Amino acid sequence: MEKHANTIEYEVYGDYALFSDPVVRVGGEKTSYSIPTYEALRGITESIFWKPTIFWVIDEIRVMNRIQTETKGIRPIKYNGGNELAYYTYLKDVRYQVRAHFEFNEHQVNMVQDRNERKYQCMSERMVKSGGRRDIFLGTRECQAFVEPCEFGSGAGYYDDMEKDIDFGFSYHGITYAEEAVLSEDQGKMTVRFWEHPTMTRGGYIVYPRPEECTIKRHIRKMQPKIFENIEKEEHEKREVKDT
């Protein structure tokens, strides 16, 4: 896949991961998808670095370790009080190389003068080197993870010698919020997206479609875009008024 100029490349790894379908998040037993969802990877990337001026696009990942699972008995707290035994199936010993790039959010009209590509490229690269600005986790809070910079595609991976592509079947892709909608049909709505045929090719590579490329989707509800104020501009104006 073609590498964008404003790209970051990093490796994320941890003992466990739980990329579960949002439908089962309300309670009961949970089973992880075999690969990270687009939404989970976007969350990891935003935990490394995010500003309202930009949004992250996940380009592709490389699965470095063997896909394996482990089931644990968990006692989650029930919504109506108390707890009960449930079995969660986690991915075990996960490691992924991730390539992502940022684009400017056209909905954030107050941030036009903050669209400095070089500035955000340098900031995001520094945050990758420092391990991220916020806590990193793989799908859920109990699956803590670590981030470090890498050269995407370098090093040996478990699936380097695989003979056939692996199709993971129908999968949840992510959610498009109103302030991120690109297509006119998604404007003013919260939209859930699905991915029909996630496929891993030789070497462990998985290319992710962009959100607007997902044709299987459902509009959940109407939603107003969240517009951020330009804080730096406001502070500058306040200083000018004070100086006069």
Nearest to 64 by CA among 162, 168, 200, 156: 156
Other CB atoms within 10 Å distance of the CB of residue 223: 18
Rounded-to-integer distance, Cα 215 and Cα 57, Å: 17
Tell me if residue 105 falls in helix, strand or coil.
coil
Rounded-to-integer distance, Cα 66 and Cα 138, Å: 16
Rounded-to-integer distance, Cα 93 and Cα 115, Å: 38
Tokens of 153: 């595609």
pLDDT at position 119: 93
- Residue pair 207/195 in contact (Cβ under 8 Å)? The answer is no
pLDDT at position 29: 82
Nearest to 152 by CA among 7, 18, 47, 48: 7
- Residue pair 200/63 in contact (Cβ under 8 Å)? The answer is yes
Tell me if residue 204 falls in helix, strand or coil.
coil
Residue type, 31: T
The residue written with tokens 């009209």 in the block is: 109
Lowest-confidence pick of 18-32, 120-134, 152-166? 18-32
- pLDDT averaged over every residue in the chain: 89
pLDDT at position 2: 66
Q: Is the pLDDT of residue 236 over 50?
A: no
Q: Is the pLDDT of residue 239 over 70?
A: no
CA atoms within a 13 Å half-sphere pointing along the CA-CB vector of 230: 15
**Percent helix / strand / coil, the chain, rounded to 5:** 25, 35, 45
DSSP 50-76: --TTEEEEEEEEEE-S---EEEEEE-P
DSSP assigned state of 137: B
Binning pLDDT at 50, 70 and 90, where does residue 241 land? very low
